[in-house]
Amino acid sequence: DAMVIQNPRYQVTQFGKPVTLSCSQTLNHNVMYWYQQKSSQAPKLLFHYYDKDFNNEADTPDNFQSRRPNTSFCFLDIRSPGLGDAAMYLCATSATSGRNEQFFGPGTRLTVL
Partner 1 sequence: SQKIEQNSEALNIQEGKTATLTCNYTNYSPAYLQWYRQDPGRGPVFLLLIRENEKEKRKERLKVTFDTTLKQSLFHITASQPADSATYLCALDPLSGGYNKLIFGAGTRLAVHP
- Residue ranges that bind partner 1, judged by CB under 8 A: 4, 30-31, 35, 40-45, 48, 50, 55, 88, 90, 92, 94-96, 99-107, 109
**CB neighbours of residue 49 within 10 Å:** 19
Residue 43 CB, nearest approach to partner 1 (Å) = 5
Residue 70 CB, nearest approach to partner 1 (Å) = 18
- 75 versus 103: smaller Cβ distance to partner 1: 103
In angstroms, what CA-CA distances link 92 with 32, 44, 107?
6, 12, 9
**3-state secondary structure (DSSP) of residue 85:** helix
